[in-house]
Amino acid sequence: MTDLLIRNLRPMGAPATDLLIRGGRIAEIASGITAPGIATEDAGGAIATPGLVEAHTHLDKTVMGMGWYENAVGTDLRSMINNERRARRELGLDPARQSMRHALALVGNGTTHIRSHVDVDTDNGLSVLEGVLKTRDTLRGVVEIEIVAFPQSGLMIRPGTLELLDEAMAMGADLVGGLDPCGIDRDPKGHLDAIFALADKHGRGIDIHLHEPGDMGAFSLELILERTAALGMKGKVAVSHAFCLGMPDWNRVEVLLAELAEQDVAILTTGAPSREVPNLKRVRGAGLRMGAGCDGVLDTWNPWNRPDMLDRARIVAQKNNLRADADLALALDLVTTGGAAVMGVMDHRLAVGNPADLALLPGRTLAEAVAMGGPVQLTVKGGRVTGRGGKPVMEAP
Amino acid sequence: MTDLLIRNLRPMGAPATDLLIRGGRIAEIASGITAPGIATEDAGGAIATPGLVEAHTHLDKTVMGMGWYENAVGTDLRSMINNERRARRELGLDPARQSMRHALALVGNGTTHIRSHVDVDTDNGLSVLEGVLKTRDTLRGVVEIEIVAFPQSGLMIRPGTLELLDEAMAMGADLVGGLDPCGIDRDPKGHLDAIFALADKHGRGIDIHLHEPGDMGAFSLELILERTAALGMKGKVAVSHAFCLGMPDWNRVEVLLAELAEQDVAILTTGAPSREVPNLKRVRGAGLRMGAGCDGVLDTWNPWNRPDMLDRARIVAQKNNLRADADLALALDLVTTGGAAVMGVMDHRLAVGNPADLALLPGRTLAEAVAMGGPVQLTVKGGRVTGRGGKPVMEAP
């Protein structure tokens, strides 16, 4: 069912109109469209936005639908990493089942695109990836899932990981992941040379977790920029978190932003309230592509994140002190068109000819719809209704 | 109806038991209580906590239930203050009606105690206070409301305000408010001398908004401490926001915390994600009373805040990087027992003899109940059911 007529919706808060979908694409936006025999939804005046984009998460980590995970872990990165690698087995975390639960919850909340990092390590091998690949296949046509093969436990400090990442790419991962070349992997040159070479070999992009703050993070960014330029990978690299771009030294940050713009390196943020984070307006102002993500949801790391990009828009907006209606629109853009651009989807807008990936939200104005945060009335992916009333249409396992 | 039997509840996540309320107080906590003829609720295994405490809000500011407020205001404090003073009239913001809506929404979300600042200025005079006083009276027995008469537009910079504050105290406000003695009022000595004298005259406490960051805020804190000591007001002063306590110089902060502890000055936080904020564990570790609040909700300042102390616990916890179960319990304590202590309510715990002010929350463990964030199953104030399923029992205007 990729033909659909949606009546009485308000695209981006504009006056009510109808929207016709044919062959999974937006065919017409006009009042009083007639299309006999086509499945029809009445939006009841709801606001239509492009589908929400979860551009930084970990579908393989959630304990959703299982027992409450009693967290007694320290808050330093290494404790959380090592704890999770053990807990994954002890809890019997089934990556296929858990990623289905997580992805479908996102779909219910208006999501049409997901970029997920997936752990690859010498303890769990490629089993986690296999599970998430299964979910990606099962959900084809429901939600687009992009997979980053990700050395969560380190690369240089855990020999054998690079070979696994190589296999992961051959198995169908979409991008090569990286992680704190200094702070975790203790060998920035080694780490970055390895993942750039791997991406080059497979002709794929890169998405690097960079939690390193201040000048250490800036140093790693410079090394990333050098390799992006040297390998001609302009536009194919993303940096997740990039806390260093939130450092107080704005002179330093401005130079970094200009260099990142030159190599079209994209930034992904979670708006982490307890950390310094990239400033949304400055990053966008520098011309960078930028998206957002909820990060891991209900996992061994953190109990607070929800599979909900409107909730994340609120967190990022509060962190960036966005209050005006125009700024709320910017926050919405971040979790729709912005995130899509990071995933290479450049036509993620409500316009004739574009894929019919959209969400219907309650609210009188666009700003109110963003601030209310749902529940999402309808999720539509390629003209197919995939979510209704905040719940996915497909049942989760 | 101040007698009530609640069956099958789990106090603070403990095994299921019954709780008997007589005359508005907790009379017994035990399994299999029999109390013929008494109204009975079945908690269905829900977790019971003390009632939630909203310890820093502005009941007079919300546009809840009205049109969407289109925000095109700058984010600096003075722009927001001046804009609101005008908007209050232009919007026809009825303080009695709006404060009822706001307070009852809080009640539905488990709240039994509220401290609200109320604007007193030379444009609106005492009309705003009159409205909130009416709400306080109407809601007696439903939720306890403490009112801070608050010079939102400044005191020394707007002659006539001090006289209005004096009248406000005579009319029944509970505490004297203050606001950024340097940053807004431009005369820290004048401002603080005035409000301390007023509090002294009326024999009331003080709650000062202190947004001033870094050393400017620390200077104001020192002036507050000097006057607290000089007037023998130990234990009667609270500082809201206190962003300066979040400054990176921990040596300086430690000294301030010790001095605040010596004068038993309480701290109230909103966990403002975009600002530096007092660190929960350090403030508590120094022995200070500390509570939290949602600040203004859906007003001309900000579209993000919700009348929901579990939502606020999440925001404060994320800002403080609290993740472990034990730390989630601390976040809950902040929005229950902690906030109550700031309001001078020292018996806000689930124990025999204490007032029967409590909330029933969904969740398997206490930590999960905090992380889930509701909906609150039942709010009970002095043995009276005031909220059910996240909604107040009394209808809002």
Query: Which pLDDT belongs to residue A165?
Result: 98
Q: HSE on the CB side for A169, CA within 13 Å?
A: 21
Give the pLDDT mean for B268-289: 98
Among the partner residues A68, A274, A363, nearest to B364 by beta-carbon distance: A68
Among the partner residues B272, B302, B371, nearest to A303 by beta-carbon distance: B371
Query: Which pLDDT belongs to residue A1?
Result: 55
B230 alpha carbon, distance to own chain's centre: 27
Query: Which pLDDT belongs to residue B75?
Result: 86
- CB-count burial class (<10 Å; 0-12, 13-18, 19+) for A241: buried
Q: Are B165 and B156 in contact (CB under 8 A)?
A: no
Mutate: best of B64, B68, B75, partner A, most A CBs <10 A = B68
Q: Are B220 and B180 in contact (CB under 8 A)?
A: yes
Contact at CB, A274 and B318, closer than 8 angstroms: yes
* Beta pairing partners, B238: B207, B266
Chain B CB within 8 Å of residue A314 CB: yes
Bridge-based pairing of strands A111-119 and A25-30 is unpaired
pLDDT band, very low/low/confident/very high, at B364 (cuts 50, 70, 90): very high
Residue type, A3: D
> What residues in B contact A371, CB-CB < 8 Å?
298, 303-304
pLDDT digits (tens, 9 = 90+) for A48-89: 999 999 999 999 999 999 999 999 998 899 999 999 999 999
Same fold, B4-50+350-392 and B52-342: no
Q: Are A349 and A53 in contact (CB under 8 A)?
A: no
Chain B CB within 8 Å of residue A72 CB: yes
Q: A144's torsion region: left (phi>0), alpha (psi -120 to 50) or beta? A: beta
For residue B42, how many other CB atoms are within 10 A of its CB?
12
Contact at CB, B323 and A73, closer than 8 angstroms: yes
Q: Are A74 and B327 in contact (CB under 8 A)?
A: no
**Per-residue pLDDT at A2 exceeds 90:** no
State both tokens at A391.
Answer: 């719940």
**Per-residue pLDDT at B53 exceeds 60:** yes
Provide the residue ranges of all domains of chain B, joining segments of one domain with +. 4-50+350-392, 52-342
Q: What percent of chain B has pLDDT over 70?
A: 100
Between positions 256 and 275 of B, the ones with CB within 8 A of A are 271-274
Among the partner residues A319, A323, A325, nearest to B75 by beta-carbon distance: A323
Give the pLDDT mean for B127-135: 98
For residue B14, how many other CB atoms are within 10 A of its CB?
13
pLDDT band, very low/low/confident/very high, at B2 (cuts 50, 70, 90): confident
State both tokens at B313.
Answer: 């616990």
SS3 of chain A: the string is CCCEEEEEEEECCCCCEEEEEECCEEEEEECCCCCCCCCEEECCCCEEEECEEEEEECCCCCCCCCCCCCCCCCCCHHHHHHHHHHHHHHCCCCHHHHHHHHHHHHHHCCEEEEEEEEECECCCECHHHHHHHHHHHHCCCCCEEEEEEECCCCCCCCCCHHHHHHHHHHHCCCEEEEECCCCCCCCHHHHHHHHHHHHHHHCCEEEEEECCCHHHHHHHHHHHHHHHHHCCCCCCEEEEECHHHHCCCHHHHHHHHHHHHHCCCEEEECCCCCCCCCCHHHHHHCCCCEEECCCCCCCCCCCCCCCCHHHHHHHHHHHCCCCCHHHHHHHHHHHHHHHHHHCCCCCCCCCCCCECCEEEECCCCHHHHHHHCCCCCEEEECCEEEEECCEECCCCC
* Beta pairing partners, A378: A360, A388
Closest residue by Cα to residue A368 from B327, B100, B63? B63
> In chain B, how long is the greatest CA-to-CA distance?
64
- Spatial distance between the Cα atoms of B64 and B397, rounded to a whole number of angstroms: 11
Q: Are A110 and A336 in contact (CB under 8 A)?
A: no
Mutate: best of B277, B301, B318, partner A, most A CBs <10 A = B318
Give the pLDDT mean for A203-210: 98
SS3 of chain B: the string is CCCEEEEEEEECCCCCEEEEEECCEEEEEECCCCCCCCCEEECCCCEEEECEEEEEECCCCCCCCCCCCCCCCCCCHHHHHHHHHHHHHHCCCCHHHHHHHHHHHHHHCCEEEEEEEEECECCCECHHHHHHHHHHHHCCCCCEEEEEEECCCCCCCCCCHHHHHHHHHHHCCCEEEEECCCCCCCCHHHHHHHHHHHHHHHCCEEEEEECCCHHHHHHHHHHHHHHHHHCCCCCCEEEEECHHHHCCCHHHHHHHHHHHHHCCCEEEECCCCCCCCCCHHHHHHCCCCEEECCCCCCCCCCCCCCCCHHHHHHHHHHHCCCCCHHHHHHHHHHHHHHHHHHCCCCCCCCCCCCECCEEEECCCCHHHHHHHCCCCCEEEECCEEEEECCEECCCCC
Contact at CB, A271 and B274, closer than 8 angstroms: no
Give the pLDDT mean for A256-265: 98
Among the partner residues A67, A72, A323, nearest to B71 by beta-carbon distance: A323
Looking up tokens 């009975």 gives B40
- Spatial distance between the Cα atoms of B162 and B153, rounded to a whole number of angstroms: 12
Chain B CB within 8 Å of residue A312 CB: no
Q: Are A292 and A338 in contact (CB under 8 A)?
A: yes
Query: Which pLDDT belongs to residue A251?
Result: 95
Mean pLDDT of chain B: 97
Give the pLDDT mean for B62-90: 94
Q: Are A103 and A59 in contact (CB under 8 A)?
A: yes
pLDDT digits (tens, 9 = 90+) for A275-333: 999 999 999 999 999 999 999 999 999 999 999 999 999 999 999 999 999 999 999 99
**Per-residue pLDDT at A166 exceeds 90:** yes
Domain B4-50+350-392 sits in CATH at 2.30.40.10
Query: Which pLDDT belongs to residue B102?
Result: 98
Length reported for chain B = 397
State both tokens at B58.
Answer: 């502005």
- Calculate how close chain A gets to B323, using CA atoms only, in Å: 5
**Which superfamily, per CATH, for A4-50+349-390?**
Urease, subunit C, domain 1 (2.30.40.10)
pLDDT digits (tens, 9 = 90+) for A21-37: 999 999 999 999 999 99
Chain B CB within 8 Å of residue A66 CB: no
Looking up tokens 């002890």 gives A90
- Calculate how close chain B gets to A70, using CA atoms only, in Å: 6
CATH topology of domain B52-342: TIM Barrel (3.20.20)
Closest residue by Cα to residue A183 from A163, A156, A150? A156
Chain B CB within 8 Å of residue A81 CB: no
- Calculate how close chain A gets to B380, using CA atoms only, in Å: 26
> In chain A, how long is the greatest CA-to-CA distance?
64
Give the pLDDT mean for A258-278: 98
Query: Which pLDDT belongs to residue B134?
Result: 98
Q: What is the crossing angle of helices B127-138 and B95-108, to 10°?
A: 40
Q: Say what the pTM is.
A: 0.97
Between positions 126 and 185 of A, the ones with CB within 8 A of B are none
- Spatial distance between the Cα atoms of A220 and A234, rounded to a whole number of angstroms: 17
* Closest-CA residue of chain A to B279: A274
Contact at CB, A68 and B367, closer than 8 angstroms: yes
What is the CA angle A367-A372-A375, rounded to 5? 125
Query: Which pLDDT belongs to residue B308?
Result: 98
- Calculate how close chain B gets to A199, using CA atoms only, in Å: 34
- Calculate how close chain B gets to A319, using CA atoms only, in Å: 4
Query: Which pLDDT belongs to residue B100?
Result: 98
Contact at CB, B323 and A71, closer than 8 angstroms: yes
Q: Are A95 and A58 in contact (CB under 8 A)?
A: no
Mutate: best of A47, A68, A280, A314, partner B, most B CBs <10 A = A68
Q: Are B49 and B85 in contact (CB under 8 A)?
A: no
Query: Which pLDDT belongs to residue B114?
Result: 98
For residue B196, how many other CB atoms are within 10 A of its CB?
23
pLDDT digits (tens, 9 = 90+) for B193-221: 999 999 999 999 999 999 999 999 999 99
pLDDT band, very low/low/confident/very high, at B1 (cuts 50, 70, 90): low
- Spatial distance between the Cα atoms of B348 and B355, rounded to a whole number of angstroms: 7
